[in-house]
Amino acid sequence: MKNSLMSPSNFSSNGNATFFQVENGYSDSLSLLNSERAVLELVQQPLIDGIDDHLIEFSEAMRTVAKVLRHAAEGKASAQVEATEWKRKYELERERNWQLEQRVFNGNYNSEHSDGRFKHLIDQPVQSDGTVDKSERCCDENGICSHEVLRNGEPGYDTNVLPDKMMRKASFKLSWCSKGENSNQHKHDIVSFEKGNITTAERSSKQISLKWESPPQTVLILTKPNSAAVQLLCLEMVRWLKEQKNLNVFVEPRVRADLLSELSYYSFVQTWEDEEEILLLHSKVDLVVTLGGDGTVLWAASMFKGPVPPVVSFSLGSLGFMTPFHSEQYKQYLTSILRGPINITLRHRLQCHVIRDTAKNEFETEGHVLVLNEVTIDRGISSFLTNLECYCDNSFVTCVQGDGLILSTTSGSTAYSLAAGGSMVHPQVPGILFTPICPHSLSFRPLILPEHVTLRVVVPFNSRGHAWASFDGKDRKQLAPGDALICSMAPWPVPTACEANSTTDFLHSIHNGLHWNVRKTQSFDGPRES
């Protein structure tokens, strides 16, 4: 039997032989339907008397082929509808985020010009996208471009007109430190194209320095619970800040109750009563002091849903990747920090939210969650592998089949991502770590993606089970088939004070916390090269 003429792909609905093109291994849906009709017409023709048995078998095979073609056409149509719907939801989400960013940018721009700050940027050349040309900006005396000077003032904020001294917010600015204290060279990170050659200008040190423009007035102290050593240190530190530095002190409600139970002297300590007051803490607090470990720093960061004051972390926990200061010398450290200037590390955070499959529009989403370490999507108690489709902006990344996926900041690169095989990254490097958890693939290696991308992790409809998302180890949410997690870099980093500088503190933490690359030194009395 020859297949060149009897193949079902060579018949049209009218019985004439024809050929149709195949793209990416799939036929066009209409062609599939036409082929199915041709096969049905062929198999429904009456059998000729005396026909061979192999033609009967061929007839049964044609019926099977017809079923396969019908299922392929239905599957492709369903996949196209699903892909179109997800693309629509994703584009609406990107548009909404873009509008929010433009609204925040315009609000900050107007407030800066309304009180006279950055007035000199008005006359700078503007590119077609509305941004100031970087190569035309001038530097200030600290060696940082003027557009990179960050301030914590609110729109319309004036420190000279506030009548309440108790609630006055200290102002500060951040600047890139130059190479050498006496250096007066203003260096830019620009690329030169002179004479057709691409060269990079000499880079200045990228250590960020914080300088107070007005003295700090209010300090927030956050402590690790259920620790007698932390409680004693908190009692001593609160008294010292009030008597020696004349500062206003905020603590958590449970800590204030503990202080008052010890002595009524601590009645001057302030706290908050509800969630609304917590949302306003960033407008009252000049400095945050944490007493505990890295978990206390994560808790401090989670309290601020927007801008975060500078954080000074004292090590009273087991690991100290983000706690460089020793509690025994807190008076010397705090005196130096309150006087300034200090080196800081801007620790980037991720902004995440869940879009449910049942959402009617892009605004019907759950609230945003900010994470300092990582967001984890795993299989929970299910015995099945997770099945996660991952997209980066408009590009398909991969389908994760394993125990789950970790989307981590560079600050979180020494946490869960490290245990899952991810790389350790300097916390001031802007980026998102894409680390699988026990993937069922030998070629699935971790990725480090740029900070400007938006990641979308979808639980497909053909997934055997649900997935679970957790944010810095808390607030677990169930993701059903069709739900999606959207993740991008948040615009509000966490500024943490450095004992020396960001690089020295980072290397010190991995040496002491992880004993990184610790081994016995090779003996000197062995064989040598001649």
Q: How many residues does the chain have?
A: 530
Structural domain ending residue among the three candidates 291, 309, 340: 340
**pLDDT of the residue at 337:** 95
* pLDDT attached to residue 122: 37
More confident residue, 30 or 13: 30
Same domain, 331 and 411: no
Q: What percent of the chain has pLDDT over 90?
A: 46
Where among 284, 315, 340 does a domain terminate? 340
List CB contacts of 82: < 8 A, sequence separation 6 or more: 461
CATH number for the domain spanning 429: value is: 2.60.200.30
pLDDT in tens, 228-271: 999 999 999 999 999 999 999 999 999 999 999 888 889 999 99
The answer to whether residue 241 is domain-embedded is yes
Answer yes or no: is 40 within a domain.
Answer: no
Q: What is the pTM of this model?
A: 0.67
Mean pLDDT of all residues in 433-447: 95
298 assigned to some structural domain: yes
Structure confidence at residue 135 (pLDDT): 40
Verify that 261 and 316 share a domain, yes or no.
Answer: yes
Is the pLDDT assigned to residue 352 strictly greater than 90?
yes
* Mean pLDDT score, 45-66: 68
| pLDDT at res. 37 | 66
Long-range contacts of 90-96 (CB under 8 A, 24+ apart): 90/391, 90/394, 90/456, 92/361, 92/362, 93/355, 93/362, 93/365, 93/486, 94/454, 95/362, 96/362, 96/363
User: Looking at residue 407, what is its pLDDT?
Assistant: 97
Mean pLDDT to the nearest integer, 435-452: 94
- Is pLDDT at 401 greater than 70 in this prediction? yes
Tell whether 366 and 484 lie within a shared domain.
yes
- The confidence score (pLDDT) of residue 526 equals 73
Q: How many Å apart are CA 48 and CA 50, to the nearest integer?
A: 6
pLDDT at residue 427 in the model:
93
Residue 42 has pLDDT above 80, yes or no: no
Whether residues 316 and 448 fall in one domain: no
Query: What total number of domains does the chain contain?
Result: 2
Mean pLDDT for the stretch of residues 205-212 = 83
Q: Which two tokens stand for residue 445?
A: 């290696």
pLDDT at 36 over 70: no
Give the residue with greater pLDDT, 361 vs 381: 381
Q: Clarify whether residues 368 and 471 are in a common domain.
A: yes
* Whether the predicted pLDDT of 452 surpasses 70: yes
442 confidence band (pLDDT: 50, 70, 90): very high
What is the residue-averaged pLDDT of the chain? 78
Confidence band for 300, pLDDT divided at 50, 70 and 90 = very high
Q: Say whether both 315 and 437 belong to one domain.
A: no
Q: Is residue 420, in this structure, part of any structural domain at all?
A: yes
| Domain assignment present for 433 | yes
- Does residue 168 carry a pLDDT above 50? yes
Residue 353 vs residue 133, higher pLDDT: 353
Q: What is the pLDDT of residue 465?
A: 87
Reading the block at residue 514, the tokens are 């992880």
Asked whether residue 12 is domain-assigned, the answer is: no
- Do 364 and 466 lie in a common domain? yes
Domain final residue, candidates 279, 306, 340: 340
The tens digit of pLDDT for each residue in 465-507 reads 899 999 999 889 999 999 999 999 999 999 999 999 999 999 9
pLDDT of the residue at 1? 41
Domain assignment of residue 302, given as a range: 218-340
User: Buried (b) or exposed (e) across 149-186, using 16+ Cβ within 10 A?
Assistant: bbebbeeeeeeeeeeeeeebbbbbbbbbbbeeeeeeee
- Are residue 242 and residue 298 in the same domain, yes or no? yes
Lowest-confidence region among 82-91, 185-194, 440-449, 505-514: 185-194
User: In terms of C-beta density within 10 A (0-12 exposed, 13-18 middle, 19 or more buried), how is residue 84 classed?
Assistant: exposed
Report d(CA 309, CA 217) in Å as an integer. Answer: 13
Statement to judge: residues 235 and 361 lie in one domain: no
- pLDDT exceeds cutoff 70 at 114: no
Q: Per-residue pLDDT for 294 more than 60?
A: yes
Q: Strand locations in 140-286, DSSP E?
A: 172-176, 191-192, 199-200, 208-212, 218-223, 248-251
323 with 270, same domain? yes
Q: What is the largest CA-CA distance in the chain?
A: 112
Tokens for 145, please give them. 């471009």
Evaluate if residue 327 carries a pLDDT over 80.
Answer: yes
| Under 8 Å between Cβ of 293 and 315 | yes
Residue 373 lies in a domain: yes
362 plus 475 within the same structural domain: yes
Map residue 357 onto helix, strand or coil: coil
Mean pLDDT of 146-170: 47
Q: CATH code at 269? A: 3.40.50.10330
pLDDT of amino acid 155: 43
pLDDT at 528: 75
Burial class (CB within 10 angstroms; exposed 0-12, middle 13-18, buried 19+) of 273: exposed
Residue 39 placed within a domain: no
Whether residues 263 and 336 share a domain: the answer is: yes
Among candidate residues 44, 29, 36, the one with its CA nearest the CA of residue 12: 36
- Dist CA 197 CA 422 (whole Å): 36
Nearest CA-CA partner of 111 in 151, 167, 168, 139: 151
| Amino acid identity, position 491 | P
Give the per-residue pLDDT at 521.
Answer: 86
Which residues are tagged catalytic?
294
Query: Which of residues 80 and 352 earns the better pLDDT score?
Result: 352
